[in-house]
Structures are given as structure tokens and as C-alpha cells.
Structure 1
């Protein structure tokens, strides 16, 4: 099981977090501080697995972001690396060569994509096409809602004149 997902920039800034196990806000802050210090200090030639407090943290660096997932000690690290890569490929497909700024300004889309891939710390959808189709449907719903809100606003403006 995946306990949490954290995306950290090279400067140590948190770009995305998703918690599947209960942690208080104080514990979350402490976890992020510990892991970012530990992972950012590691050399590029070292393996992508770190043992931490009875768990394993699997991470992978893409451009300026570290994608980190905390798993149970007996879980398969290579499977988690594949899940991380799967997430990045879907982000790439959606944003067109995803970068840190895409995640900063469109964090809600990144969370939505992550929620389509993982539920309760387990892989939900391995198909990139299905996730892309679901994201496109979500985008269409958002556009429809915006158009309806705009038309309602126009009607209210016309009625109050």
C-alpha cells in the first residue's frame, strides 16, 4: 500500500502531497522536512529506494521534480517506480511535456489525475487511454459549467438593468 505521495522540487518546495494514511498536520510537516532533506542530499548514482521508519520511500527525479511514494517495507519497489512513471507519462500526455510550472498553476488537474490513478493507496487505473478519456470528460464538464455560469450571470445582468 502507498501511504503517501509527495512531489518535491530540487529546492525543497512541496508541489503536491496526497496522504492515504492518517497523519496529523504536525506529523506531515515533519515527514516532508525529513524526507526532502534525505532525498535531496542523495547522489544521482544511488538507488531510488530509501528505508525510513520501517517503511520504504521510492522516488524518482524527472527534470526539477522528485516524485516520492512511501510504501510498506515488504511491497515491491519496482512496481512503485512503474506507478510513478505511469503518473508522469499521463501528466506529459495531458500537459505536453509537463514541467514544474504546470503543476504549480494547474495543481487541481494534477490532483485529479492522481486520483484517477490511485485510490486509497492502491493502483486503480493502469490504462493511460482510460485516464486520458476521463480527464477529457472532466474538462468538458468544467467548460459546460463555466458556460452555464456565464449565461446565468448575463441573464441576471440583463434582468437588473
Structure 2
């Protein structure tokens, strides 16, 4: 089961946080900082799997498969996509899940970048809702995910998003290049 889906930029600012278990806000904030610090400190050549930080790590006596135990992440240009899950989830399947998630965002936003996630947060959450329900992965077919998001009407038109960015005096400089590095 997936316990949380997190998206951070390179500066550690959360761009999306979705927890599928009840945690106090202070615990969530501490966890966000710990996880970003762990992930950001790793070299690009390091493995994308980590044990959970001490804040939520199970005690040595607990062997329950329902307790979150692992972090799986991918770093694309300016964004980190991070999943916290139980040991029942395959880390390789979670890496594939992140890839499908990013590809769906890329198709819906037409070369997604960090600002698209900020101004198009409805689409971001709609994609995640098509893929995960209550911490359980329910869909990984890219075409079905995109079809479901478009059918829900959560896709913000590109023109509307660009106008919103321009109105806020933000530009698409090199710092906000698409997450695929194009």
C-alpha cells in the first residue's frame, strides 16, 4: 500500500503532498523535511530506494506488512517524485508507477514543468486520483488515465495556464524547463 505521494522542487518546496494515512500536521511537516533531506543528499548515481526515516520507521518488534517501510523516488530536472510505501509494494513497480505518472502529466500539460504543477494543481491531483484510490494503485494504463482525467474535466487548457503565469509575472525561464529536460 502507498502511504504518501510527494513532489518537491530542487529547493525542497513541496509542490504536492498526498498522505493516505492519518498523521498529525506536525508529523507530516517533519517527515517532509526528513525525506527531502535524505533524497536531495543522494548522488545521481545512487539507487532510488531508501529505508524510511526514523520518524515513521517501524520498531524492531513490528513485522506488519501494513507499516510504511520504504521510500522510492525519481528525480526529473527540477522535480523529485517520491512515494512512501509498505514492504508489500515492489520498489521496481513503484519506479514504473512514477514513470507513468510523469508521462501522464507530460501529455496532459504538453511538456510539463514545475509551474504547470503549481497553476494546474487540479489536473495534478486528478491524475493521481485516477491512479491511486485510498493508497492502492488502481490504474497504470497511460491511455486510460489520460482519458479519465479528460473526461472528468480537470484538465486546464494550456492557454489558460500560460495566461495565469504571465499575470503573476512569472516567466518560463531555464529554471522552469520541462521536467524531461527538453
**Structure with bigger gyration radius:** 1
Aligned to 1:28: 28
Richer in helix (by share): 1
Aligned to 2:164: none
TM-score normalised by L of structure 2: 0.74
Secondary structure at the aligned position of 1:126 is classed as coil
What number of residue pairs does the alignment pair up?
Answer: 143
Task: Tell me the CA shift for residue 74 of structure 1.
Answer: 4.3
Q: Which runs of 5+ in 2 are unaligned?
A: 59-68, 158-182
List structure 1 segments (4+ residues) > 3 angstroms apart after TM superposition.
Answer: 140-143
Task: Tell me the CA shift for residue 13 of structure 1.
Answer: 0.4
State yes or no: 1:136 paired with 2:119: no
**For residues 45-80 of structure 1, what are the alpha-carbon distances to aligned partners after superposition, in whole Å with 9 as ceiling and x for unaligned?**
110001012411000011110000001134310000
- Check conservation: 2:73, 2:95, Cα contact below 8 A: yes
State yes or no: 1:112 paired with 2:137: no
Aligned to 1:158: none
Q: Which runs of 5+ in 1 are unaligned?
A: 144-161
Aligned to 1:157: none
Aligned to 2:87: 73
- Check conservation: 2:71, 2:84, Cα contact below 8 A: yes
State yes or no: 1:126 paired with 2:140: yes
Distance in 2 between residues matched to 1:10 and 1:140, nearest whole Å: 27
Aligned to 1:85: 99
Distance in 1 between residues matched to 2:97 and 2:4, nearest whole Å: 13
State yes or no: 1:41 paired with 2:55: no
Task: Tell me the CA shift for residue 42 of structure 1.
Answer: 0.8
Task: Tell me the CA shift for residue 128 of structure 1.
Answer: 1.6
TM-score normalised by L of structure 1: 0.83
Task: Tell me the CA shift for residue 142 of structure 1.
Answer: 9.0
User: Counterparts in 2 of 1:5-20, with a 5 A limit?
Assistant: 5-20=5-20
The RMSD of aligned alpha carbons is 1.8
- Check conservation: 2:120, 2:156, Cα contact below 8 A: no
